Structure 1
Amino acid sequence: MNYFTADTHFFHKDILGQNDFAPRPYASVEEMNQTIINNWNQRVKPTDTVYHLGDIALYFIKPVNDAYQAILDVLNQLNGNLVLIKGNHDSRAFFKFLAKHNYPLNGKPKFQFHDVGVLLKFDHRQYYLTHYPFMLGIVNQIISLHGHIHHYSVPIKENINVGVDSPELAYLSYQLPFGTPLSESDIEEMITGKAIDLAKRR
């Protein structure tokens, strides 16, 4: 199965606690990291694929390879093959580090890398997967899946924020544990819920 997520921000201590941007009520980054790992692995099987739409982690220690290794140690605890789309907090140097430590899983690499985005087709639609919201204009059957804006929902029904802090998670009729990647059926429910909500506001 395919799953989708963004903006995990592993190791990002500055967003811990209550704030308007990405409230994360954890006592430490270790607690936050482990919560995401646990909830991810509760849903994602080792044979699944997760599309991560950027901003994997923020960890500033020196030497930088020690930071990269710590992030890699977290990513290696996550089930599934990871398709990584570069966010504004992800560097090419980090992707090169991951590439050097890549390994085969389910007949393909554990990590795949994309600088800009990915185009997928499912549920009779095309999905553009990018870190930043992609303004499509008036389109039929094309959806922009994105991250980047933790606390804000683009007021366009074709734009769906799949980040772990996304306010659009409220369109689901159930609550997912923090950091749980979204399934294709979750995405479908969010698309429907957002379209209904925006129509009511007209």
Structure 2
Amino acid sequence: MIYVTSDTHFFDQHLLGRTNFADRPFLDAYDMNEKIIAHWNEVVAPEDTVYHLGDIAVHFVRPESQSHQDIYELLQRLNGNLVLIKGNHDNRALFKYLAKHNYQVNGRDKFRFEDVGALIKYNHRQYYLTHYPMMLGIVPNIINLHGHIHHYSVHTKENINVGVDSADFDYLLEKPKFGQPLNLTIVEQIIMAKRDDFLKMR
């Protein structure tokens, strides 16, 4: 199964509590990390693929190699093969470290890397997976799944924020637990509900 998520910001102390970007009521970054890992592994199986659309972690420790090692060890605890799309808080040095220490899961690399984005097809739709929202305009059967804007929502029905703080989760009858990636069936539910909401505004 395919899942999508974004903006986990592992280790990031600055997003704790209520901020301009998110509402993360955790005791500390360790508590946040552990909750995300637990909630992630509740839904993602080892054989699944998760597209992470950027801002994996914000972890300023020295030397930088220690930061990379900490993030690597955390990502090893997450179920699934990970396709990592670079966000504004991710750097090439981290991706190089992960690539150097890559290993096989289910006969595939644990980590795959995309600098700009990825294109996948599901249920007669094309999904452009990017960190930043892309303003595609009104195009049939093309949806931009993105992160970056945390608890905001792009005011077009073609853009779906799949970040862990997303306001687009309000379109779901049952919101995911914090940090749980979304499978594409749930993404479809958001798309349809957001479309219906926009039709009511006409």
Deviations, residues 12-46 of structure 1 (Å, cap 9, x unaligned): 00110112311100011000000000000000000
TM-score, normalised to structure 2, is 0.98
Q: Which residue of 2 aligns with 1:46?
A: 46
- How far residue 201 of structure 1 moved from its aligned partner, in angstroms, is 2.6
Q: Which stretch of structure 1 is more off in the superposition, 134-143 or 30-39?
A: 134-143
Partner SS state of residue 39, structure 1:
helix
Q: How many angstroms apart in 1 are the aligned matches of 2:19 and 2:47?
A: 36
1:82-128 alpha-carbon deviations (Å, 9 max, x no partner): 00000001101110000011001111100000000000000110000
Residue type of the partner of 1:26? F
Q: Distance in 2 between matches of 1:17 and 1:137?
A: 35
- The separation in 2 between residues aligned to 1:201 and 1:164, in whole angstroms, is 27
- 1:66-81 equivalence runs, <5 A: 66-81=66-81
3-state DSSP class of the match of 1:145?
strand
- 8 Å CA contact 1:155–1:198 kept in 2: the answer is no
Alpha-carbon deviations, 1:111-150, whole Å to 9, x = none?
A: 0000000000001100000000111122110000000000
- Alignment-derived partner of residue 199 in structure 1: 199
**Which stretches in structure 1 are left out of the alignment for 5+ residues?**
none
The equivalent of 1:92 in structure 2 is: 92
Greater shift in the superposed pair: 81-90 or 16-25: 16-25
Unaligned runs of 5+ in 2: none
Q: What's the TM-score once normalised by structure 1's chain length?
A: 0.98
Residue matched to 1:154:
154
Structure 1 segments of 4 or more deviating over 6 A?
A: none
Identical columns (%):
59
Contact 1:54–1:84 at 8 Å: present in 2 too?
Answer: yes
Structure 2 residue aligned with 1:83: 83
What pairs up with 1:45-194 in 2 under 5 angstroms?
A: 45-194=45-194
Instruction: Report the secondary structure of 1:97's partner residue.
Output: helix
The Cα RMSD (Å) is 0.7
- For the residue of structure 1 that corresponds to 2:120, the secondary structure is strand
